């Protein structure tokens, strides 16, 4: 129910300093709900599908990547707002809605997560942003971060980010036919990994990630690897296992 919260980040790549940024969710603003409904209409999501929080929450991780344009290389050549200048979701969703669905520039992971929190809360799905420090990015799905290594003849794209922000939502997982997976679910709206051919991720049960229970919904291997994968780095002479920590 809170309309103001904190997004936790890390200051720079070479520092361990952690800080929080105030974020204004403003999920009760009427234009926010209008923007979310407009985005659902643009995705042609049926009313039957909108009754399922699992399908809605998953669709939102795709939609937020269409509402916001990600930019990680500071290539701000077109008019827009730099990621660090955003302080809340309301302005983003209003700009998207009143422009008739034009993509809003620019975003990075915490902006996607902040906007997603607002979107979920606006339709009654309990949500919060979460931050992972030293977040593994396992692109080949082997649960190992092969940094600077050649794997199967190809240089691995795996990496470790100094931090990454995604979302949790609270819901029942009737689709898994097991109540043990009810509760907090992990979802990620940063559009960097494809799932079923599109940039979307989750929901997968927090309990699955914590226990390593590999049930086939949704994107568990990647979400698991962000917090639990082994990290190997090749320095040109040998492969070394590195402990990821704060």
pLDDT in tens for each of the 246 residues of the chain? 999 999 999 887 667 789 999 999 999 999 999 999 999 999 999 999 999 999 999 999 999 999 999 999 989 999 999 999 999 999 999 999 999 999 999 999 999 999 999 999 999 999 999 999 878 888 777 777 776 666 666 677 777 888 999 999 999 999 988 889 999 999 999 998 888 889 999 999 999 888 877 776 888 888 888 887 777 666 667 767 666 554
Tokens representing 122 are 């606006």
Helix (H, G, I), strand (E, B) or coil at 122: helix
CB 182 within 8 A of CB 172: yes
What is the distance between the alpha carbons of residues 36 and 30, in angstroms, rounded to a whole number?
10
CATH number of the domain to which 232 belongs: 3.90.260.10
Q: What is the pLDDT of residue 158?
A: 79
From the number of C-beta atoms within 10 Å of its C-beta (0-12, 13-18, 19+), residue 48 rates as exposed
Q: What is the pLDDT of residue 105?
A: 98
Closest among 190, 181, 243 to 210, alpha carbons compared: 181
Q: How many structural domains compose the chain?
A: 1
Residue 8 pairs with which residues in a beta bridge?
A: 20
* Structure tokens that stand for 208 in this block: 């699955």
Domain that holds residue 11: 4-242
Given this model, what pLDDT does residue 58 score?
A: 96
Instruction: Give the C-alpha distances (Å, rounded to integers) separating 214 from 64, 134, 209, 210.
Output: 26, 23, 8, 11
**Strand ranges (E), the chain:** 4-10, 18-24, 68-70, 104-107, 127-137, 144-147, 150-151, 154-155, 159-171, 183-187, 194-195, 198-199, 204-205, 230-234, 239-242
Q: What is the DSSP letter of 49?
A: H
- Active site amino acids: 109, 164, 188
């Amino acid at each position: 129910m809170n309309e103001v919260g904190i997004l936790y980040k890390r200051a720079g790549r070479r520092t361990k300093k952690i800080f929080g940024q105030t974020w204004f969710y403003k999920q009760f603003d009427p234009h926010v709900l209008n923007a979310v409904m407009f985005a659902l209409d643009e995705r042609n999501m049926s009313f039957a599908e909108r009754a399922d929080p699992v399908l809605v929450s998953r669709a939102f991780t795709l939609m937020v990547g269409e509402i916001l344009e990600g930019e990680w290389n500071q290539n701000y050549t077109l008019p827009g707002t730099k990621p660090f200048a955003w302080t809340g979701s309301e302005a983003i969703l209003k700009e998207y809605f009143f422009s008739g669905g034009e993509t809003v520039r620019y975003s990075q992971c915490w902006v996607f997560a902040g906007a997603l929190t607002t979107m979920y809360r606006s339709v009654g799905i309990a949500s919060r942003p979460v931050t992972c420090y030293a977040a593994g990015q396992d692109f080949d799905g082997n649960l190992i971060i092969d940094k600077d290594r050649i794997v199967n003849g190809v240089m691995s794209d795996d990496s470790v980010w100094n931090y990454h922000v995604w979302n949790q939502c609270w819901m029942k997982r009737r689709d898994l036919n097991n109540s043990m997976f009810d509760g907090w679910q992990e979802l990620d709206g940063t559009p960097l990994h494809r799932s079923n051919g599109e940039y979307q991720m989750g929901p997968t049960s927090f309990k699955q990630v914590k226990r390593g229970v590999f049930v086939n919904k949704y994107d568990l291997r990647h979400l698991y690897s962000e917090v639990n994968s082994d990290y190997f780095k090749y320095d040109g002479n040998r492969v070394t296992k590195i402990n990821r920590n704060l």
